[in-house]
Amino acid sequence: MRQDYLRWAISKTRTTWWHDSADPAELKRGIERGAIGATTNPFLASVALHANKTLWATEIQKVLAQNPEPEQKAEGLMGLVVRHAAEQLLPQYEKTGGQTGYVCAQVNPTRAGEREPMLAMARRFHKLAPNIAVKLPATAAGLDVLEDCAAEGITCTLTISYTVPQVVACAERYRRGRARAQAKGLTPGKCFAVIMIGRLDDYLREVAHDCSANVSEADIRQAGLAVTKRAYLLYKERGYEAVLIIAALRGTHHMTELAGADLIMSIFPSIQEMLLAGDLPQEERIERPVSADVVERLAQIPDFVRAYEPDGMKPTEFVTYGVTQRTLSQFIEAGWKLMENLRL
**In this predicted model, what pLDDT tens digit does every residue of 223-282 receive, in sequence order?**
999 999 999 999 999 999 999 999 999 999 999 999 999 999 999 999 999 999 878 999
How far apart are the C-alpha atoms of 120 and 35, rounded to whole Å? 30
How far apart are the C-alpha atoms of 137 and 149, rounded to whole Å? 13
Average model confidence (pLDDT) across the chain = 97
The answer to whether residue 33 sits within a structural domain is yes
How far apart are the C-alpha atoms of 127 and 150, rounded to whole Å? 15
Task: Tell me the β-bridge partners of 38.
Answer: 19, 103
Contact assessment for residue 268 and residue 292, using Cβ atoms and an 8 Å cutoff? no
The answer to whether residue 276 sits within a structural domain is yes
Residues whose CB is less than 8 angstroms from the CB of residue 293 and which lie 6 or more positions away in sequence, other chains included: none
- The boundaries of the domain holding residue 103 are 5-337
Residues whose CB is less than 8 angstroms from the CB of residue 222 and which lie 6 or more positions away in sequence, other chains included: 290, 291, 294, 298
Element at 133 (helix H, strand E): strand 132-137
Which alpha helices (DSSP H) does 153-265 contain, by range?
A: 164-183, 197-210, 217-220, 223-238, 253-256
> In this model, does residue 320 exceed pLDDT 90?
yes
> In this model, does residue 49 exceed pLDDT 80?
yes
The answer to whether residue 342 sits within a structural domain is no
Task: Tell me the β-bridge partners of 129.
Answer: none
Could you read off the pLDDT of 77-90 as tens digits, one per residue?
Answer: 999 999 999 999 99
What pLDDT, on the 0 to 100 scale, is given for residue 161?
98
What pLDDT, on the 0 to 100 scale, is given for residue 43?
98
The answer to whether residue 330 sits within a structural domain is yes
Residues of the chain above pLDDT 90, percent: 97
Could you read off the pLDDT of 72-130 as tens digits, one per residue?
Answer: 999 999 999 999 999 999 999 999 999 999 999 999 999 999 999 999 999 999 999 99
Q: How many domains does the structure of the chain reveal?
A: 1
Element at 264 (helix H, strand E): strand 264-267
pLDDT class for 2, splitting at 50, 70, 90? low
If you average pLDDT over residues 144-156, what whole number do you get? 98
The answer to whether residue 127 sits within a structural domain is yes
- For residue 154, what is the domain's CATH number? 3.20.20.70
